[in-house]
């Protein structure tokens, strides 16, 4: 099938794949990939490629280096042979690659994929890698750290060399010796340090002659004073070489023990490199995993030819094998007919190679036993019999091979000969291929094939769209509508004389003219339907957006409703529990009173109990009705202007207070509520007229004086008394009544506001509090309570 795959340009795809590998062996594997027709193997390979892409997206592409094939050198090391430092460095590079892949996968959060079995076979050897990296500097140098013995020998060599140079430096600097030397420098001959002596002074420097210059003017003499030192260095160098050879043998032995694992891991790394090269190709081409079947059906959404620039390629939808067995594609030249054929065949071949393909989600493609193609890109009026014969030979071969598991792609079937005979032959070939069960895509310009597609079951027309206004192809594939060649329109746009065009039109048969007119009307109807379809899609999208907004709003309302109901339920439960507790307290109190009914103070206790019961019921009523009711006195107008000392009721706070200052003319006054003094608008206030106060058997109305405050007796006890501006006797009188009421209301602490002034009223209050039987203790107010202007009393 290779010649058909080459026609589809699969080799170019594999070359792109090979460029994404990191080493020669992986590149060879990429170029050797071939389509597989086994459904389960194809699905498995594509799944591994897809999972490699997912891993790369989440964690980045794993690191791959240009590692060498170490199989043979590892085998030699295992057999006991000594391999070169270059080979040992290649093994170290392979160990680094194994470690890098193992470390990368360790950071993949234990994700289980079909590639996990490959990563699990990796066996890093950190000890051997560290030893190789520590021992080898380059392919011709061993590091001092390779062994302590080697480091010690090299230190001795360095020390001996330094001592020898010092000796030679002294000889060179000696004035007597300098005159015998050709130049004041030390050189090396045969690995030994020598001096360059002028030939005429040969007898003046005692030593061994090692070499003579090319001119004979210089003799290289090893002075007798350093012969022994040179000999020591040569001995040390011999030991150094022996130690290096021992280290290399040890390294080879260690690598040999790991040779089998190294060879296995080398194959694993190449296999992983290939899968991640496939994933990188998928990312580069923006591919996805289609649904893969073996039923011969193809359903490609927004398919693009992978060798055409993504920004230039027009996505096409290709359907084949489900509603129809053969697809006849017509349309103008350079309109994209051949590209559609190649796209279908190439994407099928790529899938069978375990590659992802550039299609949209929801696409499906079949595995075929044969992908048979006769596609010629050369389309000119110079086609002759030899071209026709070449195409015919290919079609004959295809007819022999095609079966129900074949995809057949035929470009310009029947061209290159008489149109009438070519069209008839093309129809006969299509019928035979359909009888064989093959799935067929054919491009043509013949009108007869368009009619054949309309009249035959299992055959469908398709066209490559052409914009008649711009006279340019749009490259869209329209299934279900035959296309027009538009030869007259294209020729006219290129400058063909109109009289020739008119004459040509008159030469076209009436049947062909009617067919072209029908096709034109169908095309116009299709365009109109597409516009309507686009409008419907837009309206549906808007409707979906509105529905989504309404749904979210409804969910929000439901959530808020549920939240408010839950709050109300919790509040009701709290009220019930509080009411139950207070009811139990009342029952306990009644039971205690029943037991004490014969005591002297029973009547007083009953009165106190009634007051407390009333107070408790009022509290329970307020708790059971937490929502403020509308003010029944809405539209209230003050009966008169407010004055300092007036008692007012603050509507929104549901508290009483005392006007502590004259109105400022802007509807704002200062109101004292306990120890709190605040500025309020008079619209929030209701004037409280003074009521009669009953003390003992007397009923009096408190006298009102300038700057005096009237006090109103109420059913409920209050915790503070304001007697500022009162005379001492009047203030003490009001104090007694206030304390009695507080005791009856079971209030333990009260506040008496007497002001600072001259201090007489404060003294009178304190004298009375000392002698009052219901007062336990008292004190002046603290900072924030009113200080010397307030007395706080604790009742018994």
Which segments are annotated as binding site for ATP? Answer: 331-338
For 340-379, the DSSP string reads: HHHHHHHHHHHHHTT--BS--TT-EEE--SEEEEE-----
CB 405 within 8 A of CB 370: yes
**Helix, strand, coil content of the chain in percent (nearest 5):** 50, 15, 30
For 584-645, the DSSP string reads: HHHHHHHHHHHHTTTSTTHHHHHHHHHHHHHHHHHHHHHHH--SPPPPTTTT---SS---TT
CB 693 within 8 A of CB 737: yes
| 483 vs 442: CA distance, rounded Å | 13
| 159 vs 330: CA distance, rounded Å | 90
Q: Which two tokens stand for residue 443?
A: 């491009």
CB 85 within 8 A of CB 249: no
| Rounded to 5°, angle at Cα 788 from 785 and 793 | 65
Which are the contacts of 169, defined by CB distance < 8 A and separation ≥ 6?
A: 186
**Length of the chain in terms of residues written:** 796
Helix, strand or coil, per DSSP, at residue 478: strand
Which are the contacts of 295, defined by CB distance < 8 A and separation ≥ 6?
A: 321, 366
CB 318 within 8 A of CB 389: no
Q: Which two tokens stand for residue 597?
A: 């009914």
CB count in 10 Å sphere of residue 209:
14
Tell me the β-bridge partners of 357: 288
Is beta strand 439-443 parallel, antiparallel or unpaired with respect to 326-330? parallel
CB count in 10 Å sphere of residue 331:
28
Q: Which two tokens stand for residue 93?
A: 């590079």
CB 605 within 8 A of CB 743: no
Nearest to 438 by CA among 298, 340, 338, 337: 298
| 475 vs 343: CA distance, rounded Å | 13
The H or E element containing residue 668 is strand 668-673
* Sign of the torsion angle spanned by Cα atoms 120, 122, 125, 126: negative
b/e map 761-771, b = 16+ CB within 10 Å: bbebbbebbee
CB 416 within 8 A of CB 446: no
CB 791 within 8 A of CB 755: no
CB count in 10 Å sphere of residue 71:
16
Nearest to 139 by CA among 194, 83, 72, 73: 83
Helix, strand or coil, per DSSP, at residue 533: helix
Chain mean position to CA 167 = 72
CB 580 within 8 A of CB 624: no
Q: Which two tokens stand for residue 755?
A: 């002001």
* Residue 515, CA distances (Å) to 453, 509, 713 in order: 13, 10, 110
Is beta strand 291-293 parallel, antiparallel or unpaired with respect to 364-366? parallel
Annotated binding site: 331-338
Q: Which two tokens stand for residue 580?
A: 């139950």
């Amino acid at each position: 099938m290779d010649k058909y795959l080459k026609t589809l340009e699969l080799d170019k795809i594999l070359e792109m794949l090979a460029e994404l590998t990191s080493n020669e062996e992986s590149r060879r594997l990429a170029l050797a990939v071939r389509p597989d027709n086994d459904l389960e193997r194809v699905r498995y390979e594509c799944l591994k490629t897809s999972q490699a892409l997912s891993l790369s997206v989440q964690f980045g592409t794993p690191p791959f280096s240009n590692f060498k094939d170490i199989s043979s050198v590892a085998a030699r090391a295992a057999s006991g042979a000594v391999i070169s430092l270059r080979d040992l460095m290649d093994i170290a590079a392979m160990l680094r690659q194994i470690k890098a892949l193992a470390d990368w996968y360790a950071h993949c959060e234990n994700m289980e994929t079909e590639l996990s079995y490959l990563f699990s076979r990796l066996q890093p050897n950190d000890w051997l890698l560290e030893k190789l990296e520590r021992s080898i500097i380059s392919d011709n140098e061993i590091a001092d750290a390779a062994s302590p013995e080697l480091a010690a020998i090299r230190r001795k060599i360095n020390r001996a060399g330094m001592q020898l140079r010092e000796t030679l430096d002294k000889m060179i600097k000696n004035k007597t010796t300098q005159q015998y030397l050709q130049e004041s420098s030390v050189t090396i001959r045969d690995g030994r340090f020598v001096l360059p002596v002028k030939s005429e002074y040969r007898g003046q420097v005692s030593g061994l002659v090692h070499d003579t210059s090319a001119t004979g003017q210089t003799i290289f003499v090893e002075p007798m004073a350093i012969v022994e030192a040179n000999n020591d260095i040569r001995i040390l160098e011999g030991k150094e070489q022996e130690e290096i050879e021992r280290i290399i043998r040890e390294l080879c032995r260690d690598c040999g023990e790991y040779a089998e694992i190294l060879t296995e891991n080398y194959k694993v790394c190449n296999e992983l490199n290939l899968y991640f090269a496939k994933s990188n190709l998928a990312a580069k081409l923006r591919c996805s995993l289609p649904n893969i079947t073996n039923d011969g059906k193809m359903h490609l959404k927004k398919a693009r030819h992978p060798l055409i620039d993504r920004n230039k390629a027009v996505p096409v939808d290709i359907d084949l094998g489900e509603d129809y067995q053969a697809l006849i594609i017509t349309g103008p030249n350079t309109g994209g007919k051949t590209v559609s054929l190649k796209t279908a065949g190439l994407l099928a071949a790529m899938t069978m190679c375990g590659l992802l393909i550039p299609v949209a989600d929801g696409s499906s493609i079949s595995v075929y036993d044969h992908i048979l193609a006769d596609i010629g890109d050369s389309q000119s009026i110079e086609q002759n019999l030899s071209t026709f014969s070449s195409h015919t030979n290919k079609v004959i071969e295809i007819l022999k091979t095609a079966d129900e598991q074949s995809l057949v792609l035929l470009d310009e079937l029947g061209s290159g000969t008489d149109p009438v005979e070519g069209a008839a032959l093309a129809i006969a070939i299509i019928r035979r291929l359909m009888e064989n069960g093959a799935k067929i895509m054919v491009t043509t310009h013949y009108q007869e094939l368009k009619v054949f597609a309309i009249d035959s079951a299992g055959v469908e027309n398709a066209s490559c769209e052409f914009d008649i206004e711009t006279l340019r192809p749009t490259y869209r594939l329209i299934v279900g509508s035959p296309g027009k060649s538009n030869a007259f329109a294209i020729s006219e746009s290129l400058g063909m004389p109109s009289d020739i065009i008119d004459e040509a039109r008159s030469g076209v048969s009436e049947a062909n003219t009617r067919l072209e007119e029908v096709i034109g009307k169908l095309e116009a109807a299709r365009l109109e339907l597409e516009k309507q379809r686009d409008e419907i899609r837009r309206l549906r999208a808007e409707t979906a957006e509105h529905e989504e907004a309404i749904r979210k709003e409804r969910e929000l309302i439901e959530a808020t409703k549920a939240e408010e109901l839950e709050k109300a339920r919790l509040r009701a439960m709290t009220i019930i529990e509080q009411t139950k507790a207070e009811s139990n307290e009342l029952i306990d109190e009644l039971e205690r009173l029943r037991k004490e009914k014969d005591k002297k103070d029973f009547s007083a206790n009953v009165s106190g109990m009634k007051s407390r019961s009333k107070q408790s019921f009022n509290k329970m009523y307020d708790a059971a009705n937490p929502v403020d009711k509308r003010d029944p006195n809405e539209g209230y107008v003050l009966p008169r202007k407010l004055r300092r000392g007036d008692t007012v009721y603050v509507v929104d706070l549901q508290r009483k207070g005392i006007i502590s200052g004259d109105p400022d003319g802007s509807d704002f006054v200062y109101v004292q509520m306990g120890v709190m003094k605040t500025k309020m608008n008079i619209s929030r206030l209701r004037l409280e007229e003074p009521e009669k106060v009953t003390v003992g058997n007397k009923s009096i109305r408190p006298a009102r004086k300038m700057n005096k405050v009237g006090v109103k007796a109420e059913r409920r006890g209050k915790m503070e008394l304001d007697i500022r501006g009162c005379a001492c006797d009047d203030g003490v009188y009001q104090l007694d009544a206030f304390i009695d009421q507080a005791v009856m209301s079971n209030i333990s602490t009260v506040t008496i506001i007497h002001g600072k002034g001259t201090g007489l009223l404060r003294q009178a209050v304190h004298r009375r509090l000392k002698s009052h039987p219901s007062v336990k203790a008292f004190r002046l107010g603290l900072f924030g309570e009113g200080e010397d202007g307030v007395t706080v009393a604790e009742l018994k």
